[in-house]
């Protein structure tokens, strides 16, 4: 009789321990589930704010100048905005290589543009003026697009790495039709630049359709 009671007590104790262990195992899972639900609720609440957040992360300035110059040069204003963002984040600055202003134009390129666009009174300090910098940057971007027969990828690559490099890469690839920026651009910076400009262009088209006159 005593043996039976002892066995029953041990069985009950074992069951209690098993239930306690099971509760300890399920407690973290319950906490994780609550956390996931909480995060989902926050994301859902922020959903309507997403365009505003994206605009904060991807600003647009000088929209009127961009529209005017893009129209005058036959460019997509979203492409111009994307190039400006990748070049300077819309800040007037000078790089270690001497590139200046919003579209990061080098003195050599600026003089090249000035000679061909009628800028007889141009001086390098003019590149700090947004209207001049964007006008020259758009002129050069149009020049590159014409050089590469409207191929945006090649024009953007040349804006970053220079057309001499791009001409060599295209020849090595067997022509523009065979050119693949992922494998035929040897410079990592330029590969990433081309991809980033393409992505930003689509974002600007989506976020700033009205401001860019699209």
**Which residues, 6+ apart, have CB-to-CB distance to 195 below 8 Å?**
181
Other C-beta atoms closer than 10 Å to the C-beta of 99 total 19
Does residue 94 form part of some domain?
yes
Does residue 212 form part of some domain?
no
pLDDT at 201: 99
pLDDT string in tens for the chain (214-residue length): 545 555 555 556 556 665 655 666 556 545 555 554 554 454 445 555 588 899 999 999 999 999 999 999 999 999 999 999 999 999 999 999 899 999 999 999 999 999 998 877 889 999 999 999 999 999 999 999 999 999 999 999 999 999 999 999 999 999 999 999 999 999 999 999 999 999 999 999 999 999 999 9
pLDDT at 194: 99
Query: Do residue 10 and residue 85 come from a single domain?
Result: no
Query: Do residue 131 and residue 62 come from a single domain?
Result: yes
Does residue 38 form part of some domain?
yes
The residues assigned a catalytic role are: 87
pLDDT at 39: 44
Number of domains in the chain: 2
Which residue range(s) make up the domain with 22?
A: 2-49
Cβ atoms of 84 and 137 closer than 8 Å: yes
Query: Do residue 86 and residue 45 come from a single domain?
Result: no
Query: Do residue 29 and residue 63 come from a single domain?
Result: no
Q: 106: domain CATH number?
A: 1.10.530.10
Query: Do residue 21 and residue 85 come from a single domain?
Result: no
């Amino acid at each position: 009789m005593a043996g039976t009671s002892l066995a029953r007590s041990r069985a009950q104790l074992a069951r209690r321990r098993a239930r306690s262990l099971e509760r300890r195992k399920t407690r973290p899972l319950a906490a994780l589930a609550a956390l996931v639900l909480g995060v989902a609720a926050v994301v859902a609440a922020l959903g309507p704010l997403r365009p505003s957040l994206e605009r904060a992360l991807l600003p647009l300035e000088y929209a009127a100048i961009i529209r005017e110059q893009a129209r005058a040069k036959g460019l997509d204003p979203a492409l111009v905005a994307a190039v400006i963002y990748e070049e300077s984040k819309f800040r007037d600055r000078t790089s270690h290589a001497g590139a200046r202003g919003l579209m990061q134009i080098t003195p050599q390129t600026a003089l090249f543009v000035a000679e061909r666009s009628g800028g007889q009174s141009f001086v390098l300090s003019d590149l700090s003026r947004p209207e001049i910098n964007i006008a020259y940057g758009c002129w050069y971007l149009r020049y590159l697009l014409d050089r590469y027969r409207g191929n945006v990828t090649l024009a953007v690559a040349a804006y970053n790495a220079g057309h001499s490099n791009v001409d060599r890469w295209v020849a090595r690839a067997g022509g523009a039709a065979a050119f693949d920026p992922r494998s035929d651009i040897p410079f990592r910076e330029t590969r990433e630049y081309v991809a980033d400009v393409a992505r930003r262009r689509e974002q600007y088209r989506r976020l700033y359709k009205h401001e860019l006159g699209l």
